[in-house]
Amino acid sequence: MSIEVKFFASLREHVGMAQCSLSSAEIKNVSDVWQAAVTDFVMPENTLVAINMEYVANTQPVEDGDEVAFFPPVTGG
Amino acid sequence: MTVEIRKTSFDAFDELRCYQQDTLKAAGKYGATSIFIGSMRDFNEGDNVQSMTLEYYPGMTEQYLEKISADAVKRWGLLDSLIIHRVGTVKPDDAIVLVAVWSAHRAAAFEASRHLMEELKSRAPFWKKETGSDGDRWIEKNSPG
C-alpha cells in the first residue's frame, strides 16, 4: 500500500511537513494514514479530510495510490 | 461556466466587463446579473490587519468550485457563472473573490449567487493567514453569512 499524504495551512505548520509518502501493508483507512504519518500529534477534532481531492470521513478506507489530504476548517471568500 | 484561481490582484469590475464582452454567450437572453465581490478589510476581531496570505489546495479547490458552479447552473437554470478567487498575499481593499451569475429572471440570480458564496465559504479549500502589528495568525473559521 503506497499513499501520498498532504497537509495544509495551520495543520501543515502544526505537524511540521507539507507532504510525505507512506508505504505499509498496515494502513487500512484515513485514521491509520494519520497515525503512520504523524506520530507525535493526535488528529485535531475539526480536521477535514480528502481522498483524491474529494471530502471523506476519517473512517474512510484507503486504497493503494491514494492521495490523502488533511486540513483545518476552510476560510476562503 | 468559468472558475479561475488568481495569483495576482484583479479588478472585479474590469473582469466582469471583459467577461460579458468576450466570453458570455447570452446577449439578449439574460434579464438578471447578480454579483458578489469580497474584498480585504484592514481590521478583524478588533485588530488592525496589514496583509493576508491565502493558501489553497491546487486541483481540489478548482474541482470543488467547478462542482458547485455546475450544480448551481443546473439547479437554477443559470445561463452562465463566473468565479475568480485570489491566492497569495493581498492588501486591504484588494478583491479576494468575485462571484457572478446570469439568469433570465432575478430570483434565480439572487439565490444562486448567495448559494455559491455560502458553499465557497464553508467548503472550498482556501485558508487565510493575517499579518498585523503583532505578527501572523491563521483565521480559524469564517463568520456566519
The tens digit of pLDDT for each residue in A27-62 reads: 999 999 999 999 999 999 999 999 999 999 999 999
- Is position A7 within any domain? yes
Cell of B89: 498575499
Residues of B in contact with A54 (CB under 8 A): 60
Tally of domains within chain A: 1
- Is position A46 within any domain? yes
How much is the pTM? 0.96
Query: Could you tell me the CA-to-CA distances from B86 to A18, B26, B36, B109, B122 in Å, in that order?
Result: 21, 26, 14, 23, 17
Distance from CA of B127 to the nearest CA of A (A): 5
Identify whether the C-beta of residue B55 lies closer than 8 Å to the C-beta of residue A9. Answer: yes
Residue A72 has pLDDT above 90, yes or no: yes
What whole-number distance in Å separates Cα of residue A10 and Cα of residue A12?
Answer: 5
Give the domain ranges of chain B.
2-132
Identify whether the C-beta of residue B42 lies closer than 8 Å to the C-beta of residue A62. Answer: no
- Is position A21 within any domain? yes
List phi, psi (to 5°) of B83. Answer: -130, 125
Reported ipTM: 0.96
Residue B145 has pLDDT above 90, yes or no: no
The CATH number of whichever domain residue A38 belongs to comes to 3.10.20.30
Q: Which domain holds residue A31?
A: 2-71
Residue B47 has pLDDT above 90, yes or no: no
Number of CB pairs, chain A paired with chain B, less than 8 A apart: 73
Neighbours of B69 (CB within 10 A): 24
Residue B105: closest CA among B81, B80, B78: B78
Residues of B in contact with A55 (CB under 8 A): 123
Contact A76 B138 (CB under 8 A): no
Closest alpha carbon within chain A to B85: A77
Please check whether the domain covering B2-132 is classified as CATH 1.10.3720.10: no
- Is position A30 within any domain? yes
Question: pLDDT tens for residues B55-67?
Answer: 999 999 999 999 9
Identify whether the C-beta of residue B4 lies closer than 8 Å to the C-beta of residue B10. Answer: no
- Is position A77 within any domain? no
Q: What percent of chain B has pLDDT over 70?
A: 100
